[in-house]
């Protein structure tokens, strides 16, 4: 695919369904990873699996993205462990779905804090070593609902839409230093959560997708690997939609 040999990456939410697929895609192309998540046992097991499959001596860094202090410490810890930071992948996120009229303040706050604010803090921190190195790739996982909206997800859609606008702004700020800032927006992706849905609900979801099926985590991993590569050096401030044609957004 794209050669990432000699490059280092920090991936948040790395042990989840999409996060682990992203990590595998980057590792398979030669990158050395700092895997971040809140479940230390799950993270450690995935790191050992990744090391066995791809080598490169990957590391794990536990971080609670709802804790601002831990978030501020994450990038410096990754740089200290890896020696440098070439790629930041903001993948971690949560949902707290509810209709707007019933949404509690804490449901709004939790989603904005983890999905939007933590990503900003990590982007800000990563910008410093990347600017010094005059090279960097920042890739943030958004969502199709950040562009289309979705009933019951005003908090999630607001956060995902905010990530796109934030990436465009930061992309303009960092472009002169050879740092690109882009987003990947998944549609319906087959994960452990979607696998437990009733067959009728899966069929209804698939009917909304021109390709007739959900995407795979590997589809998102491939998109991230491309945007993280040197070959994508003239692409910044863009959102790559990976949704099987469900929403054809220009």
Catalytic site residue 54?
no
Other beta carbons within 10 angstroms of residue 203's beta carbon come to 11
- The mean pLDDT of 18-30, rounded to a whole number, is 96
Res 1: pLDDT: 63
224 is written with which tokens?
């991230």
- The mean pLDDT of 121-138, rounded to a whole number, is 98
- Dist CA 248 CA 244 (whole Å): 9
Residue 232 near residue 179 (C-beta atoms within 8 A): no
Residue 118 near residue 132 (C-beta atoms within 8 A): no
Res 229: pLDDT: 97
- Mean per-residue pLDDT of the chain: 95
The single residue of 54, 108, 156, 188 carrying the catalytic annotation is 156
Which of the two residues, 190 and 111, has the higher pLDDT score?
Answer: 111
Other beta carbons within 10 angstroms of residue 170's beta carbon come to 22
Q: CA torsion sign, 66 to 197 to 35 to 179? A: negative
**Domains of the chain, with CATH numbers?**
8-240 (3.40.50.720)
Q: How confident is the model at residue 64 (pLDDT cuts 50, 70, 90)?
A: very high
Across the beta sheet with 32-37, what order do the strands follow?
Answer: 59-62, 32-37, 8-12, 87-90, 136-141, 179-186, 239-242
Res 30: pLDDT: 96
Backbone angles phi, psi at 90, to 5 degrees: -85, 95
Share of the chain above pLDDT 90, in %: 90
- At which residue do the structure tokens 């600017």 appear? 131
Q: Select from 13, 2, 167, 169 the least CA-distant residue to 90.
A: 13
- Dist CA 159 CA 92 (whole Å): 12
């Amino acid at each position: 695919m794209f050669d990432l040999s000699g490059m280092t990456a920090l991936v948040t939410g790395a042990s989840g369904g999409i996060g682990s697929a992203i990590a595998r895609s980057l590792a398979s192309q030669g990158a050395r990873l700092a895997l971040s998540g809140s479940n230390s046992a799950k993270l450690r097991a995935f790191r050992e699996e990744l090391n066995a499959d791809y080598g490169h001596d990957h590391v794990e860094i536990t971080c609670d993205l709802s804790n601002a202090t831990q978030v501020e410490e994450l990038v410096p810890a990754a740089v200290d462990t890896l020696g440098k930071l070439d790629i930041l992948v903001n993948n971690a996120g949560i949902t707290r779905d509810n209709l707007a009229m019933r949404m509690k303040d804490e449901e709004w706050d939790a989603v904005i804090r983890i999905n939007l604010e933590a990503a900003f803090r990590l982007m800000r921190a990563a910008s410093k070593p990347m600017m010094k190195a005059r090279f960097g790739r920042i890739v943030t996982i958004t969502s199709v609902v950040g562009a289309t909206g979705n009933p019951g997800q005003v908090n999630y859609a607001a956060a995902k839409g905010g990530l796109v606008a934030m990436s465009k702004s930061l992309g303009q700020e960092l472009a002169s230093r050879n740092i690109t800032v882009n987003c990947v927006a998944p549609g319906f992706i087959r994960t452990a959560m979607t696998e437990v849905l009733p067959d009728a609900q899966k069929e209804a979801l698939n009917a909304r997708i021109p390709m007739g099926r959900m995407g795979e985590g590997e589809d998102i991993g491939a998109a991230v690997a491309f945007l993280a590569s040197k070959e994508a050096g003239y692409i910044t401030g863009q959102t790559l939609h990976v949704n099987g044609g469900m929403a054809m957004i220009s």
